[in-house]
Amino acid sequence: MKIAIIADPIDEQYAGIHVYAREFIQALERNNQGHEIVYVHMRPNPFFDGMKELIIPLRRSVPGWSTIRKFFIMPWLFRKEKFDIVHDLSHIAPFTFWGGPYKRVITIHDLTPILYPEWHIVASRFVHKIIFPFIFRRADLVICDSEHTKEDVNAKYDVRGRIEAVLLAARSEVKQVDRVQAAEQLREKYSIEGDFLLYVGTLEPRKNLGLIIDVYEQLRQRGSFVGKLVLVGKTGWFQKEFHERLEQMDPAVRAGIILTGYVPDEDLSLFYSAAQLFLYPSFYEGFGLPPLEAMTCGCPVLVAENSSLPEVVGEGGLLLLTISRPRWVEAVERVLSDRTFRAKLSESALRVSKGFSWDRHVQSVVGMYEEIGVIPVKTGI
């Protein structure tokens, strides 16, 4: 079959969807068995060296070009190139107005723009609200990162019989590093010394960072932890309250909170491997890569018991509802004070993390391509 993969996130995003697209494509290249794969994206990129490409430039200087490119030029080219399957790796697929006799596949990572619009800027809310109904009506296959996201999509748009859940895996750069060596490299590269609690992810309201700050503040006030709190990730939107909260803290406690900003993928293993405990009290996750990556490095994890996180963490860590801050404080104190318990959590994390694989993910997806690719397709609008 001739398959188009819309890979725009490789060129323009550096958060979770970029990681997903990169890992998916690399695994697809390893596991492709004779299909013609063409990667559709917006500019020359060395990532695609040796792969078949279809570059459709994004001309930001032309008003409305992004919409024209996505919803008119792409479908026209897909029809012209006689693709059998078109798979968009991000939410907004060109499956709305018209197209051709090809099967349409989309990966949905979460429904937060629809379910929790308050966490998104107005433009994002509007686009998803308008476009999603068209996309889900026309998609031949919807792939979700978790069973929870699959349930959310079905509840809102009812695509039963055309939807599957395939779990993701940790990014390939993340590997367990000897804890002493990791700590030494963190000291040299980031001037981080001693024990620390860790969070990795975008700094945005959905991640519930206020709970992490409150827990750390309580630990310091109770004298049960004198180490650092390290927050790794870029600042997202709607973070005024978060920064105001930091400014209002006791200066001595605030001095223990380190905001690293963006960290290269190759350094993440150092943070995961050296941390005492990974905290992730997010309100909602379509999958939740950071907890799995922490587990891959043998770091004990404490995550919110909601959305897809129980699917990811399972028996590999601790899960708590986010409504009880005292219980989070108690759980952190137990992990920090009980070395045997912490070691068991580390062993469980490593064991559970081995059940996730990008190769298996892609093999499942390719199997779905082959199933839908042999069915006669509808044409026109």
pLDDT in tens, 80-138: 999 999 999 988 899 877 778 899 999 999 998 888 888 778 878 888 888 899 999 99
Note the pLDDT of residue 121.
80
Contact 92, 109 (CB under 8 A): no
Instruction: Give the model's pLDDT for residue 152.
Output: 96
Contact 91, 177 (CB under 8 A): no
d(CA 132, CA 96): 9
pLDDT at position 115: 85
User: What Å distances lie between residue 353 and 69, 144, 299, CA to CA?
Assistant: 39, 19, 11
Domain ranges of the chain: 2-169+358-373, 179-353
Measure the CA dihedral 88/94/99/104, to 10°: 30
pLDDT at 379: 39
The amino acid sitting at 267 is D
| pLDDT reported for residue 150 | 96
| Token pair listed for 112 | 């937060």
Supply 241's token pair.
Answer: 């309250």
Q: Does domain 2-169+358-373 have CATH number 3.40.50.2000?
A: yes
Q: Residues with Cβ < 8 Å from 365, sequence gap 6 or more?
A: 24, 28, 143, 166
Domain 2-169+358-373 and domain 179-353, same fold? Reply is: yes
CATH class for the region spanning 179-353: alpha beta
Q: Give the strand order in the sheet containing 257-261.
A: 257-261, 228-232, 196-200, 277-280, 301-304, 318-320
- Residues in the chain predicted with pLDDT less than 50, given as ranges, are 375-381
Among residues 289, 285, 325, which one has the least CA distance to residue 306? 285
